[in-house]
Structure 1
Amino acid sequence: MAAAMPLVVGVDGSEPSLDAVDWAARDAALHTRPLHLVHAAGPGADPSGPVTAASERAANVSPGLRLSSEVPREDAVSALIGKGRQAFALVVGATGRGELTGLLLGSVGLAVAARADCPVVVVRGSQEHRSGRFRRIVVGVEDGTESDRAVEYAFREAHVRRCELVAVHAWNAPLGALPEPPPGSWYALEAHRRPPAQVLDDALRGPPKRYPDVVVSPRTVEGPARSALLGAAAEADLLVVGAGARQGRPGLQLGVINHVLLHHAQCPVMVVPRK
């Protein structure tokens, strides 16, 4: 039997990275996955301190968790992206050592979220948002197939946490839309777009068959997607969003909305690549 792919977490000894270790240890236990700690140490650095502290932290959070660690001699982004090719998911803190004071999301977290092949969780927000207090996961749903995999992962996370899943689809009505658009007009073309409720119905059709225990709350919001998702994430334990593949380049295309969410969401954010 093949070994289960581990949950991989980046550590550097900073408080945000230890928060990420706490979150990753709980998530690994929920999914019955081993936890692999990665500390990318530059030349001359002492690798033992951050790894030892992170290992002790993880063991205290989830006793009995299968733990391993590694200290690759390369930059953190390359090390984590490399490990992500055979990982269940990657977990990073919102900022780390050496980041500019006041930086909302560290350069390592942003680069890993933008380029990894597996889901990436950026652990951010207050303790109540990181500890599962709200018992709610939010997933952003787009019109099309861009968010299909994100919806699948959101169902999976809601299933293991036994919590509510809120599926949010934001939409904008065309300015000056008429009740009965003139034939052949731009408004008539807009009318052929799928209604917001239909977008959600289509996105949520498959996963409930695999996760029948998950309680789903569909939510359509007229307005910008970033505002709708930030508002929903204010009372959530995890926000899940999808990201499409770069055209002709490896990694993920985060897009403007995902950049905003990664910098400003009040809870951990999971970015799921589209295969």
Structure 2
Amino acid sequence: MERPLVVGVDGSEPGLLAVDWAADEAVRQGLPLRIVHASLWERYEADALEETPGAGADLVTEHDLAEGILAQASDRARRRASTLDIGTDLVPQDAVSALLREAAHATAVVTGSRGRGPIRELLLGSVSLSLSARAPCPVVVVRGSLRNRDVANGRVVLGVGGPATGPAAARFAFREAAVRHSVLEVVRVWHRPAHRAAGHPLLRGEPAHHLEEEAWTLVDDALRAMGEPDVSSRPDVRRVVTEGSVRQVLLARSAAADLLVVGARRRHGRLGPQLGVVGHTMLHHADCPVAVVPHQD
């Protein structure tokens, strides 16, 4: 049985935009869509419903609100893709715990960039950030301009970051470009060191030359990791190596992309969130949806 594409909803506008993106993606990938809303009402309020006389009406309304969020999201996905296999679930957990549990059995998890409540003014919601840093499957945070969400630019960008990228991110980006019939840009950014230490191998020869060569090698490694024959010679795959700031280059390219893919290392035995500086910046500021694909060391 194929693993579903999971989208988390909370009734917010960013959450509904994530439903739109997830419905389109499920159709492209031929996957079932699972819509999840996390609510703690059952855990903390069901007992109160039994113990508090006269409290039933308010508590049932809270449950109705949760069910209404799911129904709204499901109806929206159905209008977007009438033949899509859609399932819904109301999970009695906090949002991060619920979606991390879902991630263990999902093709990918999709969220909006911001949520409801006091965190709505932040650039990135805490749920999206926690999932991106901890989930065992790819996490897509739907953000960016309206054009980059609903109008195809015909471009998927893969940011190559050395070992952090991993073969999983390369394969994910290739599949995304293929199902979208889009160009795949494989981008590696390098920069000159501010200082060269004595005895450093870059002292032999021009340092820029060595660094640029290393960047091309990393791009070629990412292409090989895609597992497709002759991928480097395909006209819809472009190798981009440039000097500059990684974050500035990728942010600039996100303005004309449908999806930006970055890797995140999951170091074995290490607890807590594991998300690099580049991934963190893209999630906060990219002008298109961002996919964070984990790579286990």
The 5 A counterparts of 1:210-225 are: 215-225=236-246
Q: Please say if residues 159 and 211 of structure 1, whose CA atoms lie closer than 8 Å, have aligned partners that are also in contact.
A: no
**Mapped partners of 1:54, 1:211: distance in 2:** 42
Tell me what 2:2 maps to.
4
Q: Distance in 2 between matches of 1:152 and 1:250?
A: 26
| Pairing of 1:45-56 with structure 2 (within 5 A) | 45=62, 46-56=65-75
Q: 1:140, 1:147 within 8 Å by CA — same for their partners in 2? A: no
Moved more, 131-140 or 246-255: 246-255
Which residue does 1:38 correspond to in 2?
A: 36
Shift of 1:214: 7.1
1:263 equivalent in structure 2: 284
The Cα shift of 1:147 comes to 3.2
1:162 counterpart (160, 167, 181): 181
Residues 175-186 of structure 1 mapped to structure 2, 5 A cutoff:
175=194, 184-185=199-200
Q: Provide the C-alpha distance between the structure 1 equivalents of 2:85 and 2:271, rounded to a whole number of angstroms.
A: 31
Report the alpha carbon displacement of residue 99 of structure 1 after superposing the two structures with TM. 3.8
Give the equivalent residue in structure 1 for 2:220: 201
**TM-score, with normalisation over the residues of structure 2?**
0.84
- Offset at residue 247 of structure 1 (A): 5.1
Name 2:87's counterpart in structure 1.
Answer: 68
SS in 2 for 1:205: helix
| Residue type at the aligned position of 2:239 | P
Q: Deviations over 1:249-273 (max 9, x none)?
A: 3575111111111000010000000
Q: For the residues of structure 2 that align with 1:122 and 1:78, how far apart are their CA atoms?
A: 17
Match of 2:17 in 1: 19
Q: Secondary structure of 2:144's match?
A: coil
Partner of 1:188: 203
How far residue 198 of structure 1 moved from its aligned partner, in angstroms, is: 2.2
Change (3 A) 1:214 1:49: farther
The 1:62/1:250 distance shift into structure 2, 3 A limit, reads farther
Q: 1:214 to 1:41 in 2, by over 3 A?
A: farther
String of CA shifts for 1:126-148, please: whole Å, max 9, x gaps: 22111242111101012346432
Deviations 1:152-184, CA, capped at 9 Å, x for gaps: 10000000111011111011112367xxx99x4
Q: Which amino acid aligns with 1:199?
A: L
Q: Normalized against structure 1, the TM-score is what?
A: 0.90
Paired-residue identity, %: 45
Runs of 4+ off more than 4 Å: 189-194, 210-214
Equivalent residue of 2:291, what SS?
strand
Where do residues 28-177 of structure 1 align in structure 2 (5 Å cutoff)?
28-43=26-41, 44=59, 45=62, 46-144=65-163, 146-175=165-194
- What CA distance in whole angstroms lies between the structure 2 residues aligned with 1:156 and 1:250? 30
Moved more, 93-102 or 120-129: 93-102
Q: Distance in 2 between matches of 1:139 and 1:118?
A: 17
- String of CA shifts for 1:7-53, please: whole Å, max 9, x gaps: 00001111000000000000000110000000012214332111111
Letter in 1 for 2:98: A
User: For structure 1, which runs of at least 5 residues remain unmatched after alignment?
Assistant: none
Partner SS, residue 39 of structure 1: strand
Q: Is the 8 A contact 1:245 1:273 kept in 2?
A: yes
Q: How does 1:217-236 map to 2 (within 5 A)?
A: 217-236=238-257
> SS of the counterpart of 2:101?
helix
* Higher share in helix: 2
Q: Secondary structure at the match of 1:38?
A: strand
- Residue in 2 that maps onto 1:274: 295
Question: C-alpha distance in 2, partners of 1:98/1:117?
Answer: 27
Moved more, 78-87 or 46-55: 46-55
CA contact (8 A) 1:159 1:214 kept: no
- Per mean C-alpha deviation after superposition, the further-off stretch among 197-206 and 118-127 is 197-206
Report how many residues are paired.
Answer: 269
Q: Which segment is superposed worse, 59-68 or 187-196?
A: 187-196
Q: Is the 8 A contact 1:163 1:214 kept in 2?
A: no
**Residues 132 and 208 (structure 1 numbering): CA distance in 2 closer, same or farther, change over 3 Å?**
farther
User: What is the deviation of 1:188?
Assistant: 3.0
